[in-house]
Structure 1
Amino acid sequence: MTDIQLQPGERLDGLPSQQIQIIQNPDMFSYSLDAVLLAYFAKPRKKGRGLSVDLGAGTGAIGLFYAQKVTGQVALVELQKDLAEMAGRSVALNGLSDRVKVINADMQAIYDQIKPGSVDTVLSNPPYFSVNETTKQNLDEHYQLARHEIAIDLPRLAQTANKLLKNNGKFYLVHRPDRLNDIMAALAARKLEVKRLQFVYGKPGREANMVLVEAIKGGGSGGVRVLPPIIAYTADDQYTDQVQEILYGQPWQL
């Protein structure tokens, strides 16, 4: 692992099971459990030999965690220059510069750098909140773009994923269960057929607060599988054994 000089306000956060460290600045934006669970949930296509793309990569957490599951190339696409720069240093820190590249661009304008129809797997942890006149937005630009559908919304994200993916390529995203109708509609309208769902619960007895989604470009209709739930915390606020294993256990298998 390469030594990297941290900038003021930055820290290193790691995922021991994947032996990956991420440079972050909490004053900008930091990844959380949803990023880890999406990278864990995603199943590489063709043993991960093809190209994978993380759209809206932030500091690169999802793509870097997922890179340990595949042997092919990974592209991290991030609009915000500061976050893309941190992601680039995290790539170098983890010794993955030969397989992982960072593209600092709007995901809707990357087709000169990533050829349409060339991608096996697309992953995304998009902004969760739609924007309307009554929406209370975070004043910080980094958090505002990360949490609210300002630069990208579900229909445009689905269209971008569709354009990038090969036929039968896979699209993975993590989102809020209360947006499930919007998610299904956006994906179906762009010929991305949902095939697997997994709900995540903060604690036993509570409503789900996260949903993991797998869709296949041009996949046949029907046949949706709902996987057993993931419960994040015990009643006394400790990680469950299931999440402990994801975070600290054996490396995730290809």
Structure 2
Amino acid sequence: MSLTLDYFIDENLKLFQDPEHFRFNTDTKLLAQFVRLKKQERVLDIGTNNAAILVYLDQFNVKELVGVEILGETSKVAQKNVDTFIKHRARIVNKPIQEYTDNLFDVIVSNPPYFKMNANQQPEKLNYRHLGRMEENLTLEQLVYHASRLLKSYGRFYMVHRPNRLNEINRVLYANHFSIRNLQFAYDHRDNKVKSVLIEAIKESNCDMNVLEPIYI
């Protein structure tokens, strides 16, 4: 396993990455900074990849950080980052979120795969980077269902996704007892097009939706 040592958002936040795997990107950074934590909360990162978001959230007064990652080699990188850089109680679980059980969390975070599999794609031909982007192991419906299953009532679910799927996202969230509280669009300053949407959804809440000021990247 040949790893690079990079910094994430801040030069003081370092982590290891595997060049062959899905590496953190702008959306990972946007999501990490979008999350708001209260004191002593338990946080779950679904599809934690190399645990970059957990490394960032370790700066705050958390009770526990948990990352679930289905890919074995990727979870080893995440575990190395937890062991090396995280100060709070933290653990990496190498299994599908569909099989994961735990006490309920206060906050759940996910930077999930954005793209649906099509009929011509053969799963066995997908590499690690493809698996970070394609819904082979985790569909939007599965993600939201299991986030609801593992989250406390009035718990907060943070995710980043593509704006063209916003109708579907809202429908799936509502079907799983979530209401969107905060929505924020990230624009590419070069063409002024929306590239990503950041979502904070509250479980079993009838809150109004706030559309926050846009981000330009």
1:121 matched to which residue of 2?
Answer: 107
Trace 1:34-53 onto structure 2 (pairs within 5 A): 34-44=27-37, 47-53=38-44
Trace 1:219-238 onto structure 2 (pairs within 5 A): 219-221=205-207, 223-232=208-217
Sort the Cα spacing of 1:133 and 1:16 in 2 relative to 1 into closer, same or farther, 3 A.
closer
Sort the Cα spacing of 1:196 and 1:138 in 2 relative to 1 into closer, same or farther, 3 A.
farther
Distance in 2 between the 1:218 and 1:32 partners? Answer: 31
Structure 1 or 2: more strand by fraction: 2
Distance in 2 between the 1:210 and 1:95 partners? Answer: 28
SS, match of residue 148 in structure 1: coil
2:91 matched to which residue of 1?
Answer: 101
TM-score computed with the length of structure 1 as normaliser: 0.80
Q: What do the CA deviations read for 1:132-191 (whole angstroms, capped 9, x no partner)? A: 225698944312221111111111111100010000000000011111111111101000
SS, match of residue 58 in structure 1: coil
Sort the Cα spacing of 1:138 and 1:24 in 2 relative to 1 into closer, same or farther, 3 A.
farther
Moved more, 86-95 or 165-174: 86-95
2:198 matched to which residue of 1?
Answer: 212
Residue identity in the other structure for 2:65: V
Is 1:20 matched with 2:10? no
SS, match of residue 128 in structure 2: helix
Contact conserved, 1:55 with 1:77, CA < 8 A, in 2? yes
Residue identity in the other structure for 2:130: Q
Residue identity in the other structure for 1:20: L
Q: What do the CA deviations read for 1:104-153 (whole angstroms, capped 9, x no partner)? A: 11011111xx12xx200000000000122256989443122211111111
Seq. identity, %: 31
Distance apart, 1:33 and its partner CA: 1.3
SS, match of residue 185 in structure 2: strand
Distance in 2 between the 1:162 and 1:139 partners? Answer: 31
Structure 1: give runs of 5+ residues left out of the alignment: 1-6, 233-254
Distance apart, 1:69 and its partner CA: 2.6
Is 1:54 matched with 2:48? no
Contact conserved, 1:127 with 1:145, CA < 8 A, in 2? yes
1:247 matched to which residue of 2?
Answer: none
Contact conserved, 1:21 with 1:93, CA < 8 A, in 2? no
TM superposition outliers: structure 1 runs of 4+ over 3 Å? 134-140
Contact conserved, 2:68 with 2:95, CA < 8 A, in 1? yes
1:90 matched to which residue of 2?
Answer: 81
Q: What do the CA deviations read for 1:63-94 (whole angstroms, capped 9, x no partner)? A: 22122133210101100011111011111221
Distance in 1 between the 2:29 and 2:124 partners? Answer: 24
Contact conserved, 1:58 with 1:83, CA < 8 A, in 2? yes
Residue identity in the other structure for 1:22: L
2:163 matched to which residue of 1?
Answer: 177
**Aligned counterpart in structure 1 of residue 176 of structure 2, from 168, 187, 190:** 190
Structure 2: give runs of 5+ residues left out of the alignment: none
Q: What do the CA deviations read for 1:211-239 (whole angstroms, capped 9, x no partner)? A: 10000000115x1111111101xxxxxxx
SS, match of residue 155 in structure 2: strand
Contact conserved, 1:195 with 1:215, CA < 8 A, in 2? yes
Residue identity in the other structure for 1:229: P
Contact conserved, 1:18 with 1:68, CA < 8 A, in 2? no
